[in-house]
Structure 1
Amino acid sequence: MSALPPPPPPQWVVALNSPMPRPSKAANSIPDPPGFTSSNTRGGKQVSLHNPTEMHHDTDRHQRQQQDKQQATRPEETDTLKLKKAWEIAMAPSKQLPMQAIMMYMSGNTLQIFSIMMVLMLFKGPIQGLINTNAAFAKYETPTTKARLVGVKAVYVLMQLLLFALGVWKVNGMGLLPTTRSDWLAWESERQPLERAFFAFK
């Protein structure tokens, strides 16, 4: 019985052992992508791909120029972002004014635990904000932004004082401030009503 011939090798073995075909003229007619032309003119000089030293130096010079520009503009952009963030912190208390005013109005002027707690919380926020003014803007303060942060801090203090004034107005409405004559004069007597009304069942 005769031996069978060996099976043909797989296609990938044939492709691996066969040499690469030379590019045809049609392939050479395809233009090179931008930046990879066989000859490029830069600064009045002809740069060839066969001598890549010149192209390498030009690329390094271009990268150095870009880095210098970025380093020159980066501090200015950083200072602008810091000032923008500082203004957001300075104006943040103004957003609490309408909400706090409505809450103080709705709590009433009677002396009860709810209204007293609301007033204490209203005073606590501005006092802590005024004490920690420098700490709130410490991370945004640099030698170039220190002078411009003075106005930002002034606005921040003004917003905190407005919140404090709202608390003073609420305490005055509750009758806890000595703003009447009877609070200061010992001989000031209490006003006597002309008539009294009592509830009675019939």
Structure 2
Amino acid sequence: MSELKIASESPKWVASLNNPPAHRSKNTSIPDPPGFPSSQPSAVSAKQKKDAAKIEKAAPRKAPTPDEMDTLKVKKAWEVALGPIKGLPMTGIMMYMSGNSLQIFSIMMVFMAFKNPIMGILATNQAFERFESDSNRSKIIQVKLAYVAMQLVALALGIWKLNQMGLLPTTRSDWLAWETQREPLEHAVFAL
């Protein structure tokens, strides 16, 4: 009696969880994907059997030729070479939004704008050594030059930010220590 009372007091979702609905029969008009036969062997059609046989009889993939590998390596090298330029719009926006005053955030942005391209230029050979072979060496040199050019563009963005912050000595007043004092042409004397 108490069990009946507890079952009637339990929520509806508990009852549906304990007693799931009956499994519906599979729609036979939709074929199974190739390689995934249905659990009911009688439902497999002749077309599905042919498709499975074709997949099994398919020739294994042939190994790429050295020319194809070199072409693929050069394409991947170009992707690496153009990588630095893809981040420049975001870096430029961040630098613009950080303002021109000397704050910790703008100083860190300028530091990273200089550090990343310099480290990239220094690690150029390591970045492309996995793509380089004897047959594609001349093409990889072109890719390396493009990579260095992209890093220099990124470095120029850091220089622009330094100039905007007023940290580059570009005005005459920045060089006053090296200016000589002018000799006056005339002297004025107070008269009494």
**Separation (CA, whole Å) in 1 of partners of 2:176 and 2:114:** 29
TM normalised by structure 1 equals: 0.56
Q: Which runs of 4+ in 1 moved over 4 A?
A: none
**Separation (CA, whole Å) in 2 of partners of 1:166 and 1:177:** 13
Structure 2 residue 105 is matched with structure 1 residue 118: no
What is the aligned-residue RMSD (CA, Å)? 2.2
Unaligned residue ranges in structure 2 (runs of 5+): 1-61, 181-192
* Counterpart amino acid of residue 118 in structure 1: M
Q: Match of 2:98?
A: 107
**Separation (CA, whole Å) in 1 of partners of 2:153 and 2:138:** 24
Q: Match of 1:85?
A: 76
**Separation (CA, whole Å) in 2 of partners of 1:171 and 1:95:** 21
**Separation (CA, whole Å) in 2 of partners of 1:158 and 1:84:** 18
Deviations 1:37-72 (Å, cap 9, x if unpaired)?
xxxxxxxxxxxxxxxxxxxxxxxxxxxxxxxxx67x
* Counterpart amino acid of residue 104 in structure 1: M
**Separation (CA, whole Å) in 2 of partners of 1:158 and 1:181:** 31
Structure showing greater Rg: 1
**Separation (CA, whole Å) in 2 of partners of 1:121 and 1:87:** 24
Pick the aligned partner of 1:162 from 137, 143, 153: 153
Cα deviation for residue 127 of structure 1 reads 0.4
Identity %: 60
Unaligned residue ranges in structure 1 (runs of 5+): 1-69, 189-202
Pick the aligned partner of 1:177 from 165, 168, 177: 168
**Separation (CA, whole Å) in 1 of partners of 2:90 and 2:70:** 32
SS at match of 2:65: helix
Q: Which has the higher contact order (CA 8 A, sep 6+)?
A: 2
* Counterpart amino acid of residue 153 in structure 2: L
* Counterpart amino acid of residue 119 in structure 1: V
SS at match of 1:184: helix
Cα deviation for residue 80 of structure 1 reads 1.0
* Counterpart amino acid of residue 102 in structure 2: L
**Separation (CA, whole Å) in 1 of partners of 2:117 and 2:103:** 22
* Counterpart amino acid of residue 100 in structure 1: T
**Separation (CA, whole Å) in 1 of partners of 2:104 and 2:176:** 30
SS at match of 2:82: helix
TM normalised by structure 2 equals: 0.59
**Number of aligned residue pairs:** 121
**Separation (CA, whole Å) in 2 of partners of 1:148 and 1:121:** 30
